[in-house]
Amino acid sequence: MIWRGEDLRARKQAQGGFSLLEVLFSMVLLAVGLVSLLGVFGLAMAATLTTQQDMIAKQLANQAYESIVTARNTGQINWDQIQNVGSVDCPITGTATCGIFVTGAQPIYNAGVDGIYGTTDDAVAGAQTLHEPGPDGIFGTADDVYISLAGYQRTIVLTNVDTTLRSITITMQYTTTQAGVTKTYVLNSYLSEYQ
């Protein structure tokens, strides 16, 4: 069969494909999309790796808050003592200064003799560690894991709202081990003199 010019042109148009430029453009578009997706996966992995540290910071802040509330509820300490060291607002005892909670960022120590976290007697009790079961999942065996809390600092600030109400702000600062980024967790609450 012999093809005439018009038939040949029509046949070439019917068989037309993608040009090299179109293929290159679509490959670049696909590459940009995949690189963006990999970036999202990287962020998700980084967030997952710091989740344990975030949880530890939250738990340490709650631990300090609960020890303050428990000490108030049991009458272990009086209302004047639930202040930062050096506070001069002591209506109950009438002394010049009151308060047992250390000011400024402090390392994470075990609770001292009084059993309250963040007080002046904690440094003597030594550094606190987190105790987890090892691979066997049983506490008290040889494979238990002890996590140092040396990278954490806790600040407890007690502020008088009025004579029977105090604001409690517990700030946890820690540096993530993977990225070396300093993170902060803040717990705010109020505490009344009355139970």
Give per-residue pLDDT as tens, 60-96: 999 999 999 999 999 899 888 999 988 877 766 556 5
CA–CA dist 14, 109 (Å, integer)? 80
Q: Which H helix or E strand runs over 13?
A: helix 5-14
pLDDT in tens, 100-143: 999 999 999 999 999 999 998 999 999 999 888 989 999 889 99
In the numeric block, the tokens 């065996």 are attached to 141
37 has a pLDDT exceeding 70: yes
At a CB cut-off of 8 Å and minimum separation 6, what does 150 contact?
Answer: 107, 108, 127
What are the tokens at 58? 């939250």
| Predicted structure pTM score | 0.74
**Coil, strand or helix at 86:** coil
| Alpha helix ranges (H) inside 15-131 | 20-74, 122-125
Tell me what percent of the residues of the chain surpass a pLDDT of 90.
55
The answer to whether the CB of 127 falls within 8 A of the CB of 109 is yes
What are the tokens at 12? 């070439």
* Range 154-181 average pLDDT: 91
Closest CA to 186 of 53, 57, 94, 55: 57
Paired with 160 in beta bridges are 166
In the numeric block, the tokens 């109400």 are attached to 165
